[in-house]
Amino acid sequence: MPLIFIVIIPLLMLWLAYSIFVVPAFEIGESRFYVHNRFRDMRFSAIFSGFTANWLNTVVVKLITNLIIFGWTLLFVIPGIIATLRYSMVNYILSDNPNLSGPRAREISNQLTMGEKGSIFVFGLSFIGWVLLCGMTFGIGFIFLRPYTRASFAELYIFLRDRAIQNGMLDPSELGLNVPQNPVPPTSTNAY
């Protein structure tokens, strides 16, 4: 019996450390890759950028966000689902600006998803058929499904982000975006 504890406890500790310190960095990097991919800036190295772009802030923000979602889930399943939807854009927000504080990233995510949680929930449910189909392939299909779902959610984030910027709810410079404040319309160059 003690041999089991000698093996299991260190493995659990390693898994916990990996979940806290490594997984969030990969999630932010993956989000950055798919957001940049949307604009044809495809660099595979972006997947590892979560380790170089303010890694500690990423770890802390993701840990606290996950604890908040877990706390809401303890109350009941429905509040947990709502909290998950409310903070579903935190990864993408941190991929745009890894220096944002946790409260601000969660506040922006809440603003982006305000009034859209039901639509986001249905959007997530639209992948259920694919998940079942991948299950029939003994999990091999998930290799193809994950990029598809991540790219789809990146598109959703870009749509919500751009709408919030156009409505004046969000300052693009806060997300590290270079958007001209007063774009100059093109002038006519008619020679006659």
28 φ, ψ (degrees, to nearest 5): -65, -45
Per-residue model confidence (pLDDT) at position 92: 95
3-state secondary structure of 101: coil
**Residue 99 resides in a domain:** yes
**Residue 181 resides in a domain:** no
Domain residues for the domain of 37 are 2-175
- pLDDT, averaged across the chain: 88
Per-residue model confidence (pLDDT) at position 185: 47
Q: Global pTM?
A: 0.84
**Residue 109 resides in a domain:** yes
Per-residue model confidence (pLDDT) at position 184: 47
Q: Per-residue pLDDT tens for 136-175? A: 988 898 999 999 999 999 999 999 999 999 998 999 988 8
Under DSSP, the state recorded for 178 is -
Q: Which of 30-39, 57-66, 135-144, 183-192 has the lowest mean pLDDT?
A: 183-192
Number of domains in the chain: 1
Q: Which tokens sit at 60? A: 């802390």
**Residue 180 resides in a domain:** no
> Alpha helices of the chain — where are they, by DSSP H?
2-21, 23-38, 55-75, 77-86, 90-96, 102-113, 117-125, 128-136, 142-166
Average pLDDT value for residue range 110-128: 95
pLDDT band, residue 122 (cuts 50/70/90): very high
Q: How many CB atoms lie within 10 A of CB 25?
A: 22
Calculate the dihedral angle through the C-alpha atoms of 27, 31, 33, 38, rounding to the nearest 10 degrees. Answer: 160
**Residue 189 resides in a domain:** no
Per-residue model confidence (pLDDT) at position 186: 47
Q: Per-residue pLDDT tens for 93-117? A: 999 999 999 999 999 999 999 999 9
**Residue 16 resides in a domain:** yes
Calculate the dihedral angle through the C-alpha atoms of 53, 55, 60, 65, rounding to the nearest 10 degrees. Answer: 60
Q: Per-residue pLDDT tens for 3-44? A: 777 888 889 999 999 999 999 999 999 999 999 888 887 788
What is the rounded CA–CA span in Å between residue 127 and residue 106?
A: 25
**Residue 187 resides in a domain:** no
What is the rounded CA–CA span in Å between residue 184 and residue 28?
A: 34
**Residue 112 resides in a domain:** yes
